[in-house]
Chain A
Amino acid sequence: MRKTSLNSVTKLAKKDKRVIFIGSDLGAGTMDEFQKNYPDRFFMEGIAEQNMIGMAAGLAMDGYIPYLNTIASFITRRCLEQITIDLCLHNLPVRLLGNGGGLVYAPLGPTHLAPDDIALMRTLPNMTIVAPSDAMEMAAIMKETLELPGPVYIRLGKGGDPVVFPKGGKVKIGKALELREGRHAIFISTGIMSHRALVAAEMLAKKGLDCAVIHFHTIKPLDHKAILAAASEFPIIITLEEHSSVGGLGSAVSEVLVDNGPFPRLKILRLSLPDSFQKNYGSQDALLEAAGLHPKNIAKTLLNTMFGA
């Protein structure tokens, strides 16, 4: 997914001279092709994220569309004030590509994890937030980012994530994508968790429970219509995200439902990461499983919620 997004930046640069790339201190060889073909528009600016954002703001004020890339925790937390003021207050077309949103950097520990990126970005007016499910969807979304007038945060997964994006599918920023129809319950998921929702739905289907899955590649602006439709059609909504329980998709969906309710017969189940620092290392999968986000855990939790333990 990361490779696809960066390759997409190179393709966009070919098509549009306003496209600029700024990295912090990325791995050797990253964006070689971009650098080779468009050296004037390639910047590798060292471990100085605050400056990277401000510099991008200045370039965007003068007509450029900078795509910035570094690790998700650093491109959000380290320079939050610069993102807030330089990008969002000025409402400038700067794109932030955050490597490893969520738990991708599991072995590296809490300093490198980004279970809070969506929450941080979601508080910022004018910000668009996307979390594609896989490389195919990433490619489709990257094309859409070019002409967006304001700043965009793009959450990148690990790479090699199972593809759930329908072949020939179309994306529209801000519009949720139905991945599976169902009758008994609906998963509202984002990022790589949409694949897990589909796997859990298959498991549940074998037990006679027919679950829909709707994928939110865009978390801001949020597709209120899709959420309200789900609330009126299903007795239970399960939000699913690789993100803290504070401020992510589950929070966003809950806010929409509270503001537009009441939905007296609706049960909302929020499946997310706990509001705590990770104490373990291992792999992304292992950390997700420990948080109850393995498809088999997801299916079990839903069954327990609906029918009791």
Chain B
Amino acid sequence: MLDQPTTPKLIYPDTPSLDKRSRYLRKLVLRAMIGGGRGHPGSALSLIEILRTLYDDILDIKADKPDWNKRDRCILSKGHGCLALYAILADKDFFPVTELDNFCHFDSILGGHPERGKIPGVEASTGALGHGLSIGVGHAIAAKLQNRKSRSVVVMGDGEINEGSVWEAAMTASKHRLDNLIAVIDYNKLQSYGPTKQVMDMEPMADKWQAFGFTVLQVDGHNVAELKKAFKKPPKKNRPTAVICHTIKGKGLPPAENNPTWHHKSRITDEQFKQLHQALEEN
């Protein structure tokens, strides 16, 4: 029996227009895409405000000591959204911003999916989907065993959570009462092939997480104030939290918004990049 019905309807974000910082981070995404000539723009742009809020306001981390033992652990489990992670990590001085120009280059630290050990601040090598939550469960258990206050935050995609392994991890998180674990779902409602509703409908999304023992919060994933409020909310004792962020794939770049052909993009022309930059100026 569920505590309360949590999914009466889908929430579509009605975000205030992007502020200067959100536009700046998107410009960093474009910078890396120009550097690499490719990327997963759609998947990265729905994540910007989620990661921005986590890294600006929530996570206890040190850019100059990325291995600091007491840090919060944040895993971008949807590794293909890495352009957003690279933008924020560069902005936070985990590595020089100029490294973005080398995205996907032969000897770059920044590949098409993030790798632990290569990139300061990256906790796990992801890209194969459905791995992050289990690793995050391990981090959360370790924190409890070691009496650390570290939280374990795992950011997943709505397509990613088609993977059965995610739900194995969700069961485990609940069994071990991991109230130091936050599962974040970037619910942009588009996976690679098309709408999640058609490819693999995860509705009732909130009920699913709740049934797996999570406290569920739902927010507009492009509204920084809402995100901040959700992430700052103290967890219910003994329960992991799921924050379902309703987002728009490709947010901020009109040609990419809600457009599955922008899930992954290569061969972007100079003219297209120019238009994308303009879109960020005018937004």
> A57 and B165: CB pair below 8 A?
no
> B168 and A51: CB pair below 8 A?
yes
A256 at the interface (CB under 8 A from B): no
- Of the candidates B123, B140, B141, the one having the most CB atoms from chain A within 10 angstroms of its own CB is B141
13 A-B interface contacts by CB (under 8 A): A46-B172, A50-B168, A51-B165, A54-B137, A54-B138, A55-B169, A55-B172, A59-B139, A61-B135, A62-B139, A64-B145, A82-B131, A85-B131
> A57 and B123: CB pair below 8 A?
no
Nearest B-chain residue to A48, judged by Cβ: B168
When distances are taken between beta carbons in the complex, the residues of chain B under 8 Å from A57 are 124, 134-135, 138
Nearest A-chain residue to B139, judged by Cβ: A58
The CA of A48 and the CA of B143, in the complex, are separated in Å by 22
For chain A, the count of residues having a C-beta within 8 Å of the partner chain is 26
A241 at the interface (CB under 8 A from B): no
B117 at the interface (CB under 8 A from A): yes
The CA of A62 and the CA of B164, in the complex, are separated in Å by 25
When distances are taken between beta carbons in the complex, the residues of chain B under 8 Å from A64 are 142, 145
When distances are taken between beta carbons in the complex, the residues of chain A under 8 Å from B20 are none
A90 at the interface (CB under 8 A from B): yes
Q: How far is the CB of A89 from chain B (nearest CB, A)?
A: 5
The CA of A90 and the CA of B175, in the complex, are separated in Å by 26
A81 at the interface (CB under 8 A from B): yes
When distances are taken between beta carbons in the complex, the residues of chain A under 8 Å from B165 are 50-51, 54, 82
A56 at the interface (CB under 8 A from B): yes
B42 at the interface (CB under 8 A from A): no
When distances are taken between beta carbons in the complex, the residues of chain B under 8 Å from A48 are 168, 171-172
A45 at the interface (CB under 8 A from B): yes
B197 at the interface (CB under 8 A from A): no
When distances are taken between beta carbons in the complex, the residues of chain A under 8 Å from B116 are 90
Nearest B-chain residue to A56, judged by Cβ: B138
Q: How far is the CB of B198 from chain A (nearest CB, A)?
A: 26
The CA of A61 and the CA of B146, in the complex, are separated in Å by 13
B128 at the interface (CB under 8 A from A): yes
Q: How far is the CB of B61 from chain A (nearest CB, A)?
A: 15
B111-139: contact bitstring with A at CB < 8 Å (1 yes, 0 no)?
Answer: 00001110000011100101111111111
Nearest A-chain residue to B169, judged by Cβ: A51
> A63 and B142: CB pair below 8 A?
yes
Q: How far is the CB of B72 from chain A (nearest CB, A)?
A: 12
The CA of A50 and the CA of B131, in the complex, are separated in Å by 8
Nearest A-chain residue to B142, judged by Cβ: A62
When distances are taken between beta carbons in the complex, the residues of chain A under 8 Å from B136 are 58
A86 at the interface (CB under 8 A from B): yes
A53 at the interface (CB under 8 A from B): yes
When distances are taken between beta carbons in the complex, the residues of chain B under 8 Å from A82 are 131, 134, 165
When distances are taken between beta carbons in the complex, the residues of chain A under 8 Å from B115 are 89
Residues B163-181 near A (CB distance < 8 A): 164-165, 168-169, 171-172, 175
Which 4 A-B pairs have CB atoms at the shortest separation, nearest pair first?
A: A58-B138, A54-B134, A62-B142, A51-B168
Q: How far is the CB of A91 from chain B (nearest CB, A)?
A: 8
When distances are taken between beta carbons in the complex, the residues of chain B under 8 Å from A50 are 130, 134, 164-165, 168
> A59 and B124: CB pair below 8 A?
no
Q: How far is the CB of B9 from chain A (nearest CB, A)?
A: 31
When distances are taken between beta carbons in the complex, the residues of chain A under 8 Å from B134 are 50-55, 57-58, 82, 86
When distances are taken between beta carbons in the complex, the residues of chain B under 8 Å from A90 are 116-117, 124-125
When distances are taken between beta carbons in the complex, the residues of chain B under 8 Å from A147 are none
A19-51: contact bitstring with B at CB < 8 Å (1 yes, 0 no)?
Answer: 000000000000000000000110001101011
> B171 and A62: CB pair below 8 A?
no
A83-126: contact bitstring with B at CB < 8 Å (1 yes, 0 no)?
Answer: 00110011000000000000000000000000000000000000
Nearest B-chain residue to A45, judged by Cβ: B172
The CA of A85 and the CA of B126, in the complex, are separated in Å by 8
Known: A54-B134, A57-B134. 17 other contacts (CB 8 A): A50-B134, A50-B165, A51-B134, A53-B134, A54-B169, A55-B137, A55-B138, A57-B135, A58-B137, A58-B142, A59-B138, A61-B135, A62-B138, A62-B146, A82-B165, A85-B131, A86-B124
When distances are taken between beta carbons in the complex, the residues of chain A under 8 Å from B139 are 58-59, 61-62
With beta carbons under 8 angstroms apart, the residue of B117, B140, B145, B172 that contacts A51 is B172
When distances are taken between beta carbons in the complex, the residues of chain A under 8 Å from B133 are 54
Q: How far is the CB of B57 from chain A (nearest CB, A)?
A: 24
When distances are taken between beta carbons in the complex, the residues of chain A under 8 Å from B140 are 58
Residues B49-94 near A (CB distance < 8 A): none
The CA of A81 and the CA of B168, in the complex, are separated in Å by 15
The CA of A87 and the CA of B66, in the complex, are separated in Å by 21
> A86 and B171: CB pair below 8 A?
no
The CA of A54 and the CA of B143, in the complex, are separated in Å by 16
Q: A40-B145, A62-B146 are in contact. Are A55 and B164 (CB under 8 A)?
A: no
With beta carbons under 8 angstroms apart, the residue of B128, B130, B142, B169 that contacts A59 is B142
When distances are taken between beta carbons in the complex, the residues of chain A under 8 Å from B146 are 62-63
The CA of A55 and the CA of B171, in the complex, are separated in Å by 12
